[in-house]
Every structure is written in structure tokens, then in C-alpha cells.
């Protein structure tokens, strides 16, 4: 991040724009990390969890894995831990 900050300081002299651009870059970097998609599949009676990169479209990925969108509930999240209590 220090390298990004140095480059932004060189290119953009307006501190408000620089801060906003840094925020957007940081957000995008974090979005590129692995995410989880949890699928509750009513057809199979099971819960599935997939670790994927954010650049994959979730619904496309879910159907690729063999689920029917009309028979599931799903969510996309960062935390892959399962809470059972």
C-alpha cells in the first residue's frame, strides 16, 4: 500500500481526490481476494460452500456447479467458518 500511496502523491495533488481514489483501490484489492458462496440446495437437502474469486459471477458459478437457481438460496461472504450452535 505504501507504493500505491507514493504513486498517488506524485500523480494527484488534491488530497480529497487522492484519499477517495486510495479507498477505491483498496476496496478493489480486497474484492479480488477469495470469497465464499454458500448454497442451501432444497433439491439435495444439503448446504454447499465454495471458495471463489470475486471476479466470477456468483449465479453463473452456482449453475456451473450443477445447482438450479429456482431450487436454492445462496449468499456470498468473506468468512468461511461454519457456526453450528
Please state the separation of Cα 82 from the chain's center in Å. Answer: 18
Per-residue pLDDT reduced to its tens digit, 22-59: 788 887 776 666 688 999 999 999 999 998 875 668 89
Per-residue pLDDT reduced to its tens digit, 50-70: 988 756 688 989 999 999 999
3-class secondary structure, 84: coil
Q: How far apart are CA 61 and CA 65, in angstroms?
A: 6
3-class secondary structure, 53: strand
Phi, psi of 81 (to 5 degrees): -70, 145
Q: Which three cell numbers stand for residue 65?
A: 456447479
Amino acid at each position: 500500500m505504501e507504493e500505491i500511496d507514493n504513486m498517488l502523491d506524485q500523480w494527484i495533488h488534491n488530497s480529497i481526490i487522492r484519499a477517495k481514489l486510495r479507498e477505491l483501490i483498496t476496496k478493489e484489492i480486497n474484492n479480488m481476494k477469495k470469497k465464499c458462496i454458500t448454497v442451501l440446495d432444497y433439491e439435495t437437502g444439503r448446504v454447499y460452500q465454495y471458495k471463489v474469486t470475486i471476479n466470477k459471477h456468483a449465479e453463473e458459478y452456482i449453475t456451473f456447479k450443477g445447482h438450479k437457481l429456482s431450487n436454492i438460496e445462496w449468499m456470498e461472504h468473506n468468512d468461511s467458518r461454519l457456526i453450528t450452535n
